[in-house]
């Protein structure tokens, strides 16, 4: 931490900051400069809560040099983490994985048809919501426990591992019984009670970036889960809010290489929410893989025109099959994937 | 709802949209134009989930004419709602209220000193966090239940009603036992499980705008609470995320007159989080009242330099006393307040 | 400047940075820490161009401690600057000034009627565009030189000084002949050729903040003007771009106290563009004055329903007269204005 | 255009809107609905200036159905436009082009070395700034006319066509004498005087998206150029401003497929400015091509550590050569490029 003093700070201001640093249990190191004095804080392990320092007399600015997170950082663990969500299904390794399926589980027929179609095209896992966070209380909110039962049924039939969202602590326990990976949605990225609760489970967690969360905050939210003991975390870029209404979200693919440098955790991308429109999903799914994503989370529906939610951004099964071929070619172009062996479900 | 077709949409595209509208239980009304056809949907009460329509062949755009919320709208209830958080303490009426106190409850002495100071200066209610949502798992997270007990003690001593945050369903039940108004923080504005849970309680709720929530989404989140039966909701503008790091947040005071027009619910403003720096809190508190806010939520700490959280944006008690005088003068300048009667705690 | 090295930087990385700093003509000061080394740069006067340093091997981050601007800063000149746009019309002093008038000059009758109305209500100066930057090439672009002639005519009649926009170098020279203050619009805030050109003139300049400009960038653009020799610069907050379409812009009133702290230049606010809707202009004009703005730039049109541009955000003359009274009361409430002496045109 | 009336609008409000529409020369079509009346405007060709309508009594909202631009739209010209910047160098066709070179022209040796390196690796054209818009007046502003002369010299030597920026009308005329394509930078995207001036030239224009410009505004700025008679416009996504400081900009690759659908103009992407950091440039250049960009504008410097501007985001020549191979493979993976014929300089 570096405390930059104002141009006209007086010696008692400087002493005041040094005293505050000592009271926090650290050692201050004043560095007089030509224009102004700066004061370093030595011994900081990145977790200092210094919010009051910036308000002390004579302080111009407080600059954080250490990162506020620990266990998720690449400095803590230099090699890539690989999260295994089911036997043979690894995220963060050499292969690029594809998790596909409808936005919501709507009926046995719908979810079974969807699962078979994405399985046939080479998907690695099945997505499908049983609990749906919706902006409006009057929108379809998911089938709840019945949706989880249908997902379990489909897994038995197709062998596809299941990724599905939990919205609260009770829901997370239920999801953990039925699914292979618990998804935390964008709206709950800073629901710390929920993060702690899945941090105490022994189940992979897919953590989506919040609608206007910085990458730093995404990593801090992941740190909440690791701090409770669960290191099986997969991050997901899904588009953020912007000033432009031309797309539902602004898909921040820069996040892929940035997270790769800062953290050892795997990161995938969701071009369905990242764009919001079917005909943009395909080019942006390709872009995400080209940017280095460990996988793709994509909405596919047997009959998008009749979907109860997110129909406009869901791919038709035949579009998805074409996309899979392109993704394979791009993965190879960047030296990533290698063709999937037929017995496995990876790309 | 209005469905705008593409320039080159063919008759079968138009018929496809009409069919989809009929399947949803509404009546389509095609309107051929010079450049393109538009199709109106009649009978919509604002709660249609039409997300799949925009993906149909030939559709250029779907435009929503009706608002997606109902009970929070001024069309539903034209007159201002007044929320009473304690006997004689009304928010949304003629008087401008001031809810002041420290970010967190830290100790009996700290919260008692703070409460007496803000009471003496004329505050209407006491704020103070027992459960603190923090970006980092390593930051101080509040005293929990012990904090609530101290707040109850202070209320008995000072007569100030208590506003404090709940972060999850269990916490909300606990807060409801001790406090007069349950605060839902910015990070939980779209935690729908929590919103439904406080919607089932008979307790005023202070709902803060999310970090990058639109005003529309803020109103939809309030709708979640009203839809469960609790209409005692106070909205709060607390600054949103922006591209400029010059302040902690961008304080969107436009939200005050905009919400006043769209909704009957009271809205207050939090200049402490809205700016993040003590010397900006005072001018922006004045600005919020001048813009028409029904009240102010402001951080005051007996010794900000030693605060465990948000010290840099907490006012010193003597600054707060000076601010109260300015707020009174501005309230009168806009024909709002009238001096508070000494026996009450309003401004 | 502080160069923060990566956790795993090797000695040759550190030496590389020190060498680069020496090649720039400065002195490096390495500071080894527990987690990582930081390297200070001594002798920096804030104008170092160090963009290549962040790309050197082992560098994690480059932190700027000095501000990149000089002459506009309060450190350079501690006392407030007062800009005189006409005899007796000072901006940045004790009085709050009001510059009012239509978006565009449309005809002699329109501008004369508008000027008389705002003069009667107590406005300090007249605004009105002769050259209009419009997003669409097909929108009304202003009367050009004829508009300037009309403005000069109106000044002779009413005594009101004129503020009007220039869009390019040739236009600036023309505006300087006719008007009292040259306005640089938001879209041209970083048109450096234009900034330099008005910097070489001896004429007050009203510089509007760009649509997504940081406060830092606004000050740097003002620095361009001062660096050429013209220190008569008035800054103007006019709303910035945001994710919320509820208003035309997000009106960033935090900018008022922030600029006041960083710079000696006066700053005014434009609630017409800052909100975009007539019924929001009045509360937000009040808020801007309460926040400490040195003045208000506001659109008033004799017949807003027939305005050729910005009709929806223009006040009716009678609304403007009511606003003037409220602004006077708020100015006094914050110890600012004092009633205007009848002979002058200040508030 | 559709005018949505408020819930409680009275018949005289509706008649007022109809009258205003007739005064504009169009035909109003009132459509009474269950909740509210809407009024269509027939005959609108997309260029109606209706800003005053939204302020009329009883109006809730004005919705634009037609697009505000004409000649740049795909409805105006369904087939892709191909812009030829030099014999054999086409942008917008089957091949993906690469325009590479240093941020600024610094010296004959520097630009010649850079040009030879990018030529050898397969670049299609050379970029290099002679006039540099910089946030600070104290930063290096380019070599000016001498820079243009060096670029012309290098073109004679290497055969690479030249793309370089103009900042004002006089500069544009000079650039047009020396270069093959005039670049308009992000800060000047809404400098309409400059846009009109290049619109009157017979020279290809590379128009970069403004720092916080919507895609709609980018297309409107291009419309300014086409409206003056010059249809040789290439658009360029270069990253936009966001709330996250993790990268210099947020690289909005969604813009690629969105522009492709709305407009016939070619669009390329600039991963150097889009990310701001060398190690992010390579994955994001790959992503841009995968998303369907017609080309890449990328900074390459012989010795980035000594660059006078943008060193941190400039590639080393050997990195660029590696990137070219990856881009070729990705182009083929999406059925785009086909190998470049050796005699041409396309990818």
Question: What's the whole-number mean pLDDT along residues C223-234?
Answer: 96
To the nearest whole Å, the CA of C11 is away from the closest chain A CA by 18
Measured CA to CA, the distance from residue A135 to residue D134 in angstroms comes to: 42
Question: CA–CA separation, B299 vs B316, rounded Å?
Answer: 9
Task: Kindly determine whether residue B291 and residue C289, on different chains, have CB atoms separated by under 8 Å.
Answer: no
- For C74, the token pair is 């309060």
Average pLDDT, chain A: 90
CB contact under 8 A, B252 and C254: no
Say whether A55 and B168 touch across the interface (CB within 8 A). Answer: no
**Is residue C76 within 8 Å of residue C70, measured between CB atoms?**
yes
> What does the pLDDT read at residue C93?
93
Sorting pLDDT into bands at 50, 70 and 90, what band is C27? confident
**Is pLDDT larger for residue B49 or for residue A300?**
A300
The average pLDDT across D58-66 equals 78
pLDDT at D198: 98
Mean of per-residue pLDDT scores for chain C: 90
The total of other beta-carbon atoms located within 10 Å of residue C26's CB is: 18
**Least confidently predicted of A65-69, B99-103, B181-185, D84-88:** A65-69
- Chains touching chain D through at least 3 C-beta pairs below 8 angstroms are A, B, C
How many Cβ contacts (< 8 angstroms) between chains A and C?
Answer: 61
Sorted by sequence, the CB contacts under 8 Å of residue B19 that are 6+ apart come out as: none
Quick one: tokens of A337? 């994937």
Pairwise CB contact (< 8 Å): A75 & C8: yes
How would you write chain D as a 3-class SS string?
CEEEECCCCCHHHHHHHHHHHHHCCCEEEEEECCCCEEEEEECCCCCCCCCCHHHCCCEEEEECCCCCCCCCECCCCCCCCCEEEECCEEECCCCCEEEEECCECCCHHHHHHHHHHHHHHCCCEEECECCCCCCCCCCCCCCCHHHHHHHHHHHHHHCCCEEEECCCHHHHHHHHHHCCEEEECHHHCCCHHHHHHHHCCCCCEEEECCCCCCHHHHHHHHHHHHHCCCCCEEEEECCECCCCCCCCCECCCCHHHHHHHHECCCEEECHHHHHCCHHHHHHHHHHHHHHCCCEEEEEECCCHHHCCCCHHHCECHHHHHHHHHHHHHHHHHCCCCCCCCCCCCCC
Q: Tell which of A240, A291, A322 to mutate to test the D interface (max D CBs under 10 Å).
A: A291
Side-chain-side CA neighbours of A263 within 13 Å: the count stands at 30
Cβ-Cβ contacts under 8 Å, D243 against chain A? 212, 214, 240
Q: What is the pLDDT of residue D346?
A: 46
Distance in angstroms (rounded) separating the CA atoms of residues A195 and A198: 5
Taking each continuous run of H as one helix and of E as one strand, the counts in chain C are 10, 14
Residue with tokens 């009758």: C109
pLDDT above 60: residue A46:
no
Contact D168 C171 (CB under 8 A): no
pLDDT for res D239: 97
Q: Which of D75, D77, D210, D246 to mutate to test the interface with B (most CBs of B within 10 A)?
A: D75
Provide, for chain B, the percentages of residues in helix, strand and coil under a 3-state DSSP scheme, each rounded to the nearest 5. 35, 20, 45
Q: What pLDDT sits at residue C342?
A: 34
Report d(CA D249, CA A250) in Å as an integer: 12
| H helices present in A186-293, as ranges | 192-199, 215-227, 255-262, 271-275, 278-290
At residue C21 the predicted structure's pLDDT band, cuts being 50, 70 and 90, is: confident
For residues A69 and A219, the answer to whether their CB atoms sit within 8 Å is yes
Write the CA distances from C287 to B254, B288, C161, C235, C308, integer angstroms. 10, 6, 25, 17, 28
Does A307 sit within 8 Å of B220, measured CB to CB?
Answer: no
pLDDT surpassing 70 at residue D34: no
Question: What is the least distance, in Å, from the CA of C220 to any CA of chain D?
Answer: 6
**Residue among B180, B66, B124, B54 at smallest CA distance from B324:** B124
- Which residues make Cβ contacts (< 8 Å) with residue B76, sequence separation at least 6? B70, B264
Q: What is the pLDDT at residue C337?
A: 66
CB pairs < 8 Å spanning A and D: 127
pLDDT band at A343 (very low <50, low <70, confident <90, very high): very low
Mean pLDDT of all residues in D96-120:
96
- For residue B4, list chain D residues with Cβ-Cβ distance below 8 A: 65
Instruction: Report CB contact under 8 Å: D251, A247.
Output: no
Above 50 in pLDDT, residue C338?
A: no
Alpha-carbon distance D336 to nearest alpha carbon in chain C (angstroms):
33
Q: Which residue has the tokens 């705690």?
A: B345
In Å, what is the CA distance from C323 to each residue of C313, C320, C327?
14, 5, 6
Residue-by-residue DSSP string for A30-82: EE--SS--EEEEET--S----TTGGGSTTEEEEE--S-S--TTBTTT--SPP-
Number of H helices, E strands in chain B: 10, 14
Query: Could you tell me which residues are beta bridge partners of residue D125?
Result: D99
Residues of D in contact with A324 (CB under 8 A): none
And the tokens for D127? 């970029």
Is B256 in contact with C283 (Cβ distance < 8 A)?
yes
Any idea which residue has 């939204």 for tokens?
A: D54
- Are the Cβ atoms of A212 and C243 closer than 8 angstroms? yes
**Per-residue pLDDT reduced to its tens digit, C4-19:** 888 888 999 999 999 9
Query: What are the chain A neighbours of D275 within 8 Å (beta carbons)?
Result: 254, 257
| Chain-centre distance for alpha carbon A152 | 24
pLDDT number for residue A65: 65
Q: Which residues of D touch A255 (CB under 8 A)?
A: 246
Residue B163: φ, ψ to 5°: -120, 125
- Asked if B167 and A140 come within 8 Å (Cβ–Cβ), the reply is no
Do residue D65 and residue B63 have CB atoms under 8 angstroms apart?
yes
Which of A256-260, C293-297, D65-69, D243-247 is the least confident region? Answer: D65-69
Q: How far is C192 from chain D (nearest CA, A)?
A: 7
pLDDT value, residue A66 = 67
Give the span between the Cα atoms of B119 and B98, in whole angstroms. Answer: 10
Sign of the C-alpha dihedral, residues A315, A316, A321, A322?
negative
Query: Do A33 and C46 lie within an 8 Å CB cutoff?
Result: no
pLDDT over 80 at D213, yes or no: yes
Report which of C281, C300, D58 is spatially closest to residue B257, judged by C-alpha positions.
Answer: C281
Percent of chain A with pLDDT over 70: 93
Q: Give residue-wise pLDDT tens across range A149-166.
A: 999 999 999 999 999 999
Top residue of B45, B65, B250 to mutate, by most chain D CBs within 10 Å, is B65
Closest CA to A326 of A296, A276, A282: A282
Across the interface, whether the CB atoms of C63 and A245 are under 8 A apart is answered no
Per-residue pLDDT at C31 exceeds 90:
no
* Mean per-residue pLDDT, D162-171: 96
Contact of D308 with A287, CB cutoff 8 Å: no
Tokens of D330: 């990705």
Output DSSP code: residue B87. T
Chain B residues close to A210, C-beta within 8 Å: 211
Give the one of B34, B38, B43 whose C-beta lies nearest to D34's C-beta.
B43
Residue with the bigger pLDDT between B166 and C33: it is: B166
Query: Hey, is C290 helix, strand or coil?
Result: helix
Which chains reach chain C with 3 or more Cβ–Cβ distances below 8 angstroms?
A: A, B, D
Place of tokens 């905009």: B258
Comparing A222-231, A328-337, B246-255, which segment has the lowest mean pLDDT? A328-337
Counting other chains too, the contacts that A76-80 makes at CB distance below 8 Å and 24 or more residues apart are A76/A264, A77/A264, A78/A264, A79/A264, A80/A264, A80/A266
The answer to whether the Cβ–Cβ distance between A2 and C212 falls below 8 Å is no
DSSP-H helix ranges across C179-316? 192-199, 215-227, 255-262, 271-275, 278-290
CA angle B249, B250, B252 (to 5 degrees): 130
The string of pLDDT tens digits covering residues D192-209 is: 999 999 999 999 999 999
Listed in sequence order, the residues at least 6 apart from B69 whose beta carbon sits closer than 8 Å to its beta carbon are A136, B46, B216, B219, B220, B222, B223
Which residue numbers of D have CB closer than 8 Å to A's CBs? Answer: 212, 214-216, 240, 242-247, 250-258, 261, 274-275, 279-280, 283-284, 286-292, 326, 329-330, 332-334
B244: chain C residues, CB-CB within 8 Å: 214-216, 240, 252
- Name the pLDDT band for C135 (thresholds 50, 70, 90): confident
- Report the residue from A33, A43, A61 with minimal CB separation from C34: A43
pLDDT surpasses 70 at A138: yes
ipTM entry:
0.89
- pLDDT values of chain B reduced to their tens digit, one per residue, 347 residues: 778 888 888 999 999 999 988 888 788 877 776 667 888 776 665 556 677 788 888 888 887 766 788 899 998 899 999 999 999 999 999 999 999 999 999 999 999 999 999 999 999 999 999 999 888 888 888 999 999 999 999 999 999 999 999 999 999 999 999 999 999 999 999 999 999 999 999 999 999 999 999 999 999 999 999 999 999 999 999 999 999 989 999 999 999 999 999 999 999 999 999 999 899 999 999 999 999 999 999 999 999 888 888 888 999 999 999 999 999 999 999 988 643 433 344 44
């Amino acid at each position: 931490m570096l405390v930059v003093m104002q141009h006209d700070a007086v010696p008692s201001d400087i002493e005041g900051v040094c005293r505050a640093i000592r009271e926090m249990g650290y050692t201050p190191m004043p560095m007089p400069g030509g224009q102004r004095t700066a004061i370093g804080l030595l011994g900081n392990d990145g977790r200092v809560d210094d919010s009051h320092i910036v308000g002390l007399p004579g302080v111009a600015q407080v600059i954080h040099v250490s990162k506020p997170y620990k266990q998720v950082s690449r400095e803590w663990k230099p090699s890539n983490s690989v999260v295994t969500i089911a036997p043979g299904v690894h995220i963060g390794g050499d292969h690029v994985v594809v998790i596909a399926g409808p936005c919501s589980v709507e009926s046995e027929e719908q979810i079974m048809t969807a699962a078979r179609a994405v399985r046939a095209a080479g998907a690695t896992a099945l997505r499908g919501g049983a609990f749906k966070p919706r902006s409006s209380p009057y929108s379809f909110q998911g089938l709840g426990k019945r949706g989880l039962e249908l997902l379990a049924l489909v897994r038995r039939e197709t062998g596809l591992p299941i990724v599905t969202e939990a919205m609260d602590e009770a829901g997370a326990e239920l999801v953990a019984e039925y699914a292979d990976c618990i998804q935390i949605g964008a709206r709950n990225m800073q629901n710390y009670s929920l993060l702690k609760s899945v941090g105490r489970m022994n189940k992979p967690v897919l953590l989506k970036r919040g609608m206007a969360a910085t990458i730093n905050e995404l990593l801090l939210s992941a740190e909440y889960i690791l701090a409770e003991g669960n290191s099986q975390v997969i991050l997901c870029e899904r588009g953020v809010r912007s000033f432009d209404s031309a797309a539902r979200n602004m898909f921040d693919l820069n996040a892929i290489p940035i997270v790769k440098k800062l953290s050892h955790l795997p990161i995938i991308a969701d071009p369905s929410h990242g764009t919001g429109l079917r005909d943009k999903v395909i080019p942006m799914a390709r872009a995400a893989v080209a940017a280095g994503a460990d996988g793709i989370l994509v909405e596919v529906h047997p009959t998008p025109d009749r979907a109860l939610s997110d129909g406009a951004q869901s791919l038709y099964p035949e579009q998805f099959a074409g996309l899979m071929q392109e993704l394979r070619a791009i993965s190879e172009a960047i030296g990533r994937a290698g063709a999937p062996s037929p017995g496995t479900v990876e790309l």
